[in-house]
Every structure is written in C-alpha cells, then in structure tokens.
C-alpha cells in the first residue's frame, strides 16, 4: 500500500522571508537590507577584495538590476 504524504502546516514549513533571486550574494544583501549596488555586490562576492577590473566573463555573470555606484 503506498504511503500518503502529509501536508505540512505553514508553521512547520520553512519559508524564506525574501524570495530567492538565484544568486546567494543578492539574496544575502536583500535579507540584510544592503543596497543592491555593483560595488556592494563585488565587495561581498570577492570577500572585500574585488579586482580593479572585471574580465568579460565576470561582467557577464553579474546579476541584472544592480544599481550604479
């Protein structure tokens, strides 16, 4: 006999207060109310030591919607 799945109540189900963007750094910035600027993103993504210039691949990998500095 197949097992029946129990519905989880909203109290037991873990729900994120901020919808996921697909980028862990952006999600962390949103959760901590850090402005979504390019310099903030790069400082966090590179652990406080961002490169002086990004190569083409790094630029292409930046999330959309980052505000200019």
Burial bucket for residue 47 (CB in 10 Å: 0-12, 13-18, 19+):
exposed
Average pLDDT, integer, range 4-19: 57
Task: Tell me if the pTM is above 0.75.
Answer: no
Give the model's pLDDT for residue 32.
Answer: 97
- pLDDT, tens digit (0-9, with 9 covering 90-100), for 14-69: 555 556 788 999 999 999 999 999 999 999 999 999 999 999 999 999 999 999 88
- Report d(CA 4, CA 11) in Å as an integer: 20
Q: Say if CB 63 and CB 21 are below 8 A apart.
A: yes
Contact partners, residue 66, CB within 8 Å, separation at least 6: 36, 37, 38, 41
């Amino acid at each position: 006999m197949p097992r029946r799945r129990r519905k989880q109540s909203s109290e037991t189900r873990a729900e994120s207060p901020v919808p996921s963007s697909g980028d862990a750094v952006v999600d962390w910035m949103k959760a901590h109310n850090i402005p979504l600027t390019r310099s903030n993103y790069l400082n966090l993504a590179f652990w406080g030591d961002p490169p002086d210039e990004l190569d083409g691949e790094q630029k292409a990998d930046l999330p959309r919607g980052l505000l200019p500095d």
